[in-house]
Amino acid sequence: MFNKTNNEFFAKRLDDSNIRDYLCSLDSGIDRVEVVDQKLLPVDPLLQNNYGEDGDCTLTCITTCLYYLSKRQHLQLTIPFIYKGVEQIAKKYFYNGKTYGTIPFFTKKIFDEALSYFGLKQNTVARYGKIIGYDDKTIKNAINNGRPVILSLANDGRSYYEHHSITICGYADFKICHKSENLGLTKTMFMVYDNWDSRVAYVDFNGISLFSSINY
């Protein structure tokens, strides 16, 4: 189950309007999909178009996380102020928003230095390579501990997100009921803000490329 290749959703955004159809498309025997658990952190979604250069997806994610942390720690920091500081720090680590953007191996350094610069208290974690460095439980535990996760990936398995960074802000556990089974299986879909749209989108962990990293 969950191994079917389906071109219907190739290069398409997954959101609340089609997530159930996507899950049903994973196997011809599925007849019902329902949410059994869900957690969404109160993160403010930011859009790349409102800030710096075209290749600033990682910087937008870092700003998103810093603004979320600043509110939790009751600091009066504005989003433009945070973004400007993050951008200045990123340039020390070879950031170029007009060409390749941010080198993933420097995301943690930018994140850590920005936290210190703005007086925010948090120790960050970086993990490289799906399955090798992190798995779905790693992300889920971070969300349950109130920490949004920056995901940088080569591909999401459907070529909607390619060489992009997004902010995982929650998850939804879906019960997938199969016609031939008495009991349904549970599949977790991660809820993300992708810097392109202010609405929640979904990412299937199974499709995330091995060449990827998380920071939180």
Residue 74 burial by Cβ neighbours in a 10 Å radius (0-12, 13-18, 19+): exposed
Here the contacts of 121-129 (C-beta below 8 Å, separation 24 or greater) are: 121/73, 122/69, 122/147, 124/215, 124/216, 125/214, 125/215, 125/216, 126/213, 126/214, 126/215, 127/213, 127/214, 127/215, 128/104, 128/213, 129/210, 129/211, 129/212, 129/213
- pLDDT reported for residue 30: 86
Q: Over the stretch 118-153, which tens digit does the pLDDT of each residue have?
A: 999 999 999 999 999 999 999 999 999 999 999 999
**Quick one: which H or E segment has residue 157?**
none
Does residue 199 lie within any of the structural domains? yes
Q: Over the stretch 176-201, which tens digit does the pLDDT of each residue have?
A: 988 766 667 899 999 999 999 999 99
- pLDDT reported for residue 182: 63
| Number of separate domains in the chain | 1
Question: What's the pTM value of the predicted model, to 2 decimals?
Answer: 0.93
Does residue 183 lie within any of the structural domains? yes
Q: What is the domain range of residue 118?
A: 10-215
Residue 13 pLDDT greater than 50, yes or no:
yes
Does residue 146 lie within any of the structural domains? yes
Mean pLDDT on 67-95: 97
Residue 64 pLDDT greater than 50, yes or no:
yes
